[in-house]
A and B are shown apart, each in its own frame.
Chain A
């Protein structure tokens, strides 16, 4: 997996998060994982098809999710209901869409699937032999939002 594919996701994540919640996130150090492991409680999974094939995973904790969705919905979210979940899933969708827009400039033709939301604690997911790159975004006063890109 090369930098040409990862950079659009980094760029898109930063730009969309900033647009959606009006806070510029801080980009942490990218890391690689041969197995996807997340201990975050809320995960949005979006499939990537076409010239690049794989999975994009957006992970965050309950409190971070509540903060983000409160901003997105313009009201305080105390309980994580269907509407809040939908907002978090849509954030993942928008980041994916923008990543593809940037990617398409280099000629890559890709598509994404509708999102799947997985909630729980200490979820362990494996993409088997497909390597993953983790893009960590820290949103000031809110917390960590991780984007894991796993492409064959």
Chain B
């Protein structure tokens, strides 16, 4: 059975791009969220195998959403995928439990490698 991924990004372009990369590599996109709050709600509803999380979003940013998702499910696998790649941001995300941190613009292989590593069974 295909592994299920929840994509979180306020940019439609990003959601479409990630969906294409991931589905072409055998993953199922079980949901899309346009902000952190939506991501948290959908995580609780859909229980995905993995979440991709942008940082700069309206309503609730990705770092806050990451912390909320981890509080709900300490085993949640969240990979940050963002334009905000400053060192302090990476440190904060990793300390909050993010499994990986991808900086945009990225090569599709970077995403496949990061996701594959987390979902290898």
Contacts and interface: CB of A to CB of B under 8 A. Distances in A.
* A and B held together in a complex: yes
Interface of A: 16, 19-20, 72-73, 82-83, 86-87, 89-90, 93-94, 96-98, 100-101, 104, 109, 111-114
Interface stretch (B37-45, B69-77, B85-93, B110-118): B85-93
B30 interface: no
A59 B113 CA distance: 35
Most buried by B among A93, A98, A112: A93
Contacts of A112: 56, 84
B46 interface: no
Contact of A114 (B58, B88, B103): B58
A86 B11 CA distance: 6
A47 B57 CA distance: 13
Interface residues of B, number: 19
Nearest to A12: B83
State the 8 A-B residue pairs at the shortest beta-carbon distance, nearest first: A97-B83, A86-B13, A86-B12, A87-B13, A104-B86, A90-B11, A94-B83, A90-B13
B56 A113 contact: yes
Chain A's interface: helix, strand, loop or mixed, by majority?
helix
Contacts of A96: 83
Contacts of B10: 114
B11 A98 contact: no
Interface in B10-29: 10-14, 16
B56 A114 contact: yes
A113 B103 CA distance: 17
A72 B11 CA distance: 13
Interface string B38-68: 0000000000000000001110000000000
